[in-house]
Amino acid sequence: TVFKVAAIPGDGIGVDITEAAKEVLNKLAQCDGTFRFDFTTFDWSSKAYLERGWYMPEDAIATLKKHDAIYFGAVGWPSVPDHISLWNMILPIRKELNQYVNVRPTRILPGTKSPLVGCQKDPKQLDWIIVRENSEGEYAGQGGTTHGHENYAVATELAIFSYVGIERIMRFAFETAKQRPRKKLTMVTKSNAQRHGMVLWDKVFYTVAKEYEGVVEFDKMLVDAMTVRMVNRPDSLDVIVATNLHADILSDLAAALAGSIGIAPSSNLDPSRKYPSMFEPIHGSAPDIAGKGIANPLGAFWSAAEMVRWLGAGKLDAQADTLMQAIENVTVAGVKTRDLGGDRGTQEVTKAVLDQVERL
């Protein structure tokens, strides 16, 4: 099988980690022999935007649709306002390709340390999947700013929640929880202060939950209290479902609690499989460490493993597991970047993972 993958490295460390991920994916395919990747790399980035005035060409979405999957690095650079870079690349791709689910697993990799005291004794206490609503909510892009004297400007940022949009993410979250050993789902809102959209979220949650009574254990949290629970009782959580904004924030926290934002993967999925899904580490372009060769590539490799799993649709799970095992062997051996307390560079960690893939 040949998988056509569109690679979009983007900016900053996105370029280094995408290159590394391509190497690892090619090695995995080569060692396996039953599948391979046909990568097409697109130079869509903030750097290119500054030179030519556009991020993606007019036919970008049509081009992406011709691929089986998209591998994304990161977009954003200090010389371009972040809302311009995000709204010209990552957000339109997610929306146009029906990627309404963003799956973000978090756990502590062996040989690495969580800042949580309890987890230092028992890393298994933190093992979560955050299911992020990826198409509407606070990132619907609706709203505006009044014109006139800027000191009197008024801006609105309209969050949009639809029954259909909420129901499909809830169903995905319950199905995800159902497949996990602990079968627990925690739904996060802020329905005490936000009295329209968040109240609808609660309502749809309990409606869908009726179908899973006795199968999935479920509960509800307010997002502020949720941050406390993540720190104080990580073992009480399994699958977490939240809105676009809330899950965005909670997943950065989750990654930090698991050791580093540099390890955290994400899958932007179109569950109908009509359009290609997109795989990317959750971190950004990290301008502060870009070009230094010290970015942690493990979030990119973990995302690559999730891409293999998705592309295989059940037939390449063993190969995805091999890649995860390779990553874990490398962290156990202490070959780690600085964010994980090590002293190795991106290339050394990549080389170590390549060696493990070959050995396994």
Residues near ligand NAI (CB under 6 A) are 13, 74-76, 82, 86, 90, 261-262, 280, 283-289, 295-296, 299, 337, 339
Q: Which does 248 bind (CB under 5 to 8 A by kind): ligand NAI, Mg ion, none?
A: Mg ion
Quick one: 338 exposed, middle or buried, by C-beta within 10 A (0-12, 13-18, 19+)? middle
Smallest gap from residue 136 Cβ to Mg ion (A): 17
Q: Which does 92 bind (CB under 5 to 8 A by kind): ligand NAI, Mg ion, none?
A: none
**DSSP-based three-state secondary structure for 135:** coil
Q: Which is nearer to Mg ion, 27 or 283 (CB)?
A: 283
Smallest gap from residue 158 Cβ to Mg ion (A): 20
# residues near Mg ion by CB under 5 A? 1
Query: Per CB under 5 A, which region of 3-11, 155-163, 241-249, 305-313 contacts Mg ion?
Result: 241-249
CB neighbour list of residue 76: distance below 8 Å, 6 or more residues apart? 10, 11, 12, 46, 82, 85, 86, 284, 285
Q: Which does 82 bind (CB under 5 to 8 A by kind): Mg ion, ligand NAI, none?
A: ligand NAI
Would the CA dihedral through 167, 278, 265, 72 be positive or negative? negative
Smallest gap from residue 232 Cβ to Mg ion (A): 23
Residue from 133, 138, 248, 280 that binds Mg ion (CB under 5 A)? Answer: 248
d(CA 157, CA 138): 8
Smallest gap from residue 321 Cβ to ligand NAI (A): 23
Smallest gap from residue 59 Cβ to ligand NAI (A): 22
Q: Transcribe 145-193 into DSSP letters.
A: E--S-GGG--EEEEEE--HHHHHHHHHHHHHHHHTSSS-EEEEEE-TTT
Query: Per CB under 5 A, which region of 193-201, 218-226, 243-251, 264-272 contacts Mg ion?
Result: 243-251
Strand ranges of the sheet holding 239-242, from the earlier edge strand across to the other edge: 36-41, 2-10, 69-74, 277-281, 265-269, 101-107, 127-133, 239-242, 184-189, 217-222
Q: Which is nearer to ligand NAI, 199 or 253 (CB)?
A: 253
